Amino acid sequence: MTFEEAKEKFIHTWGTLATQWGINRSMAQLHSLLLISPDALAIEDIMEQLQISRGNASMNLRDLMDWGLIYKQLKPGERREFFIAEKDIWKVARQVAKERRRREITPVVEVLNELKNIPTDTPEAQEFHRVMTGLSNVVGFADNTLNAVIKAEENWLVSQFLNVFR
């Protein structure tokens, strides 16, 4: 397999997998392109390599910046904007976990907590409360797991910092 074939397969696969996680294919393909690019790319380069429109590229670049996965990079003498992905894969994983938690888990936790606060004076209400409590426990476990991923580097950084002074 040549580099170009491997690159194409990675971009295609990353885009396909991301749709299963609730991320649109173009956004994931754009991220994967920037992730493997050694240099920052201009929007025209992205459009050409992925065969997407300027609007599609612009919208997904903005979304990826909102997620904290890519950054603008200025080049002296250039009027165009360039974009580069965060290259530390652990940082990428933590950032995705943080965003997924903020966008998906936190709102569900809030709703489930609200739904559990009902009077349980009928068998139906008791069953409803039991189910909401069970769902809350599962979502709480997912929330704690994502939080552990997010906090992993913070704990590592603190330990490394403390080791410097020992």
Check whether residue 42 and residue 29 sit in a common domain. yes
Spatial contact of 96 and 68, defined as CB atoms under 8 Å apart: no
Which tens digit of pLDDT belongs to each residue from 5-35? 999 999 999 988 888 777 899 999 999 999 9
- For residues 19 and 15, give the distance between their C-alpha atoms in angstroms, rounded to a whole number: 7
Task: Name the pLDDT band for 36 (thresholds 50, 70, 90).
Answer: very high
Task: Name the pLDDT band for 154 (thresholds 50, 70, 90).
Answer: low
Nearest Cα to Cα of residue 143 among 116, 108, 113: 108
Overall number of domains in the chain:
2
Q: What CATH number should be reported for the domain holding residue 9?
A: 1.10.10.10
Which tens digit of pLDDT belongs to each residue from 56-68? 999 999 999 999 9
- Structure tokens belonging to residue 104: 């998906």
Domain span at 42 = 3-85
Check whether residue 81 and residue 94 sit in a common domain. no
Nearest Cα to Cα of residue 143 among 83, 103, 93: 103
Spatial contact of 64 and 99, defined as CB atoms under 8 Å apart: no
Check whether residue 122 and residue 154 sit in a common domain. yes
Which tens digit of pLDDT belongs to each residue from 109-118? 999 999 998 9
